[in-house]
Amino acid sequence: MSGTPAGVQPDHPLARLTTVRTGGAAEWFARPATEPELVELLRWADVEGIAVGLIGSGSNLLVADDGFHGLAIKLDGDLASIERDGDRVFCGGGARLPSAAAKAAGWGLSGLEFGINIPGTAGGAVRMNANAYGGQLARVLDWIEVSTAAGTERREPQQLGFSYRRSNLRSGEVVSRASFRLRPGDPAAIRATLATMREQRREAQPSGIKTFGSTFKNPDDERAEGRSAGQLLDAAGCRGLRHGGARFSEKHANFVENFDAATSADVLELMAEGRRRVHERFGIELEPEVQVLGEVSWPSGWEL
C-alpha cells in the first residue's frame, strides 16, 4: 500500500493487548504517541477506506478469532500521559485509569478514586461510561478531545450522551485526551479510600484471571426484580459453566474466564448459552457489555 505512515505494522497479534487474551491479528497496527501522529493515521485510514478500531487496555474487548480487518490503534507516549494543573488532571486517552487515580491521590486530589478498580484507559472509560462504587465519570469529567480524520475538537460531558455503559462516541472517533476536574483533599485519606476500594474488589471479584470483566449489562427489566446480570446467570445455573477453554467464573458468574487457551468462539458460545439459560428461566434478554472488534459470527441460539 502506498504512503503507509511511519510506524504502521502489518498483521499484528492482538490477543496480548486484551485482558482475556483471545482473538486474532489486526491487518494494520499503530501506536501513535502524539495528536498530529494520530490524526495523520486517521486521515490515511480514511483515504484508503480502512476501518479503525481503538484498543485501550483491552479490558472490555473481545477480538474476533479471524482478527480485525482494519487499522487497530493503541495510544502511547503523550497520548497516554497523566499530568496535573491545579485541581485538574489531564490524561491522554491511553492513560491507565488506575494510574490516574493513584497519581491524583498522591497530588491530594479527590474524585477519581473509583478508577482504581477499573483496569481500562481514560479513553476506554469515556467511551464505555465506566463506573464503580457510585463514582460517576461524568461528575468529574471536564472535557475530552476527540480526534478524527478531520482533526481534533473538544467536547463537554453533556455532549457525550452518557447512559448506562454507553456514550454517543462513534467508531473512528478517538478520545485522545480527557481533563478531570477534582477537589483538593488529604492524600493520606484519599489513599486510604483507594485501599478500602481495592479490598472490597478483592472480596467481590476473582483476581489474576484472564477476563474482560462484566460480560453482560445489568438488565433494565422488572422481571429481574433488581437482580444483577451475575445473579441471574448464577440462578440460571451458569456459575462455573464451561465451553472449550472458557467458563463463567466460580466467584462471579458474570465474568467469563479464559482458563485454558480459549478462543473467542469459545467465549461467544458460552455467552450464547448463558443468555439462552437466563431467557429460558426469566424471559430476560441479556445484552453484552463486552465490545467486539472484528467480524464474529454469533452462535446459533444467540437470537432468542
Ligand X SMILES: Cc1cc2nc3c(=O)[nH]c(=O)nc-3n(C[C@H](O)[C@H](O)[C@H](O)COP(=O)(O)OP(=O)(O)OC[C@H]3O[C@@H](n4cnc5c(N)ncnc54)[C@H](O)[C@@H]3O)c2cc1C
Q: Is 270 in the site for ligand X (CB under 6 A)?
A: no
Return d(Cα 32, Cα 40) in angstroms, integer: 9
CA 257: distance to chain centroid? 16
The contact pattern for ligand X, residues 201-230, with x = CB under 6 A and - = no contact, is: ----------xxx-----------------
Per CB under 6 A, the segment of 40-48, 123-131, 217-225, 243-251 that binds ligand X is 123-131
Strand partners, 96: 121
The residue behind cell 477537589 is: 183
The sheet with strand 68-73 has its strands ordered as 9-13, 25-30, 68-73, 52-54
Strand partners, 95: none
Q: Is 137 in the site for ligand X (CB under 6 A)?
A: no
Parallel, antiparallel, or unpaired: how do β-strands 25-30 and 68-73 relate? Answer: parallel
Return d(Cα 169, Cα 166) in angstroms, integer: 9
Figure out which of the listed residues 25, 55, 109, 270 binds ligand X, where binding follows CB under 6 A: 55
Catalytic residues: 165, 214, 289
Figure out which of the listed residues 174, 194, 232, 253 binds ligand X, where binding follows CB under 6 A: 174
CB-based burial, 137-163: b 16+ in 10 Å, e otherwise:
beebbbbbbbbbeeebeebebeebebe
Total residues contacting ligand X (rule CB under 6 A)? 32
Figure out which of the listed residues 127, 243, 247, 275 binds ligand X, where binding follows CB under 6 A: 127
Shortest distance (Å) from residue 142 CB to ligand X: 16
- Please list every residue from 73 through 112 that binds ligand X, using CB under 6 A: 75, 93
Residue placing its CB nearer to ligand X in the complex, 124 or 157: 124
**Residues near ligand X (CB under 6 A):** 19, 53-61, 75, 93, 117-121, 123-125, 127-128, 130-132, 169, 174-175, 211-213, 291
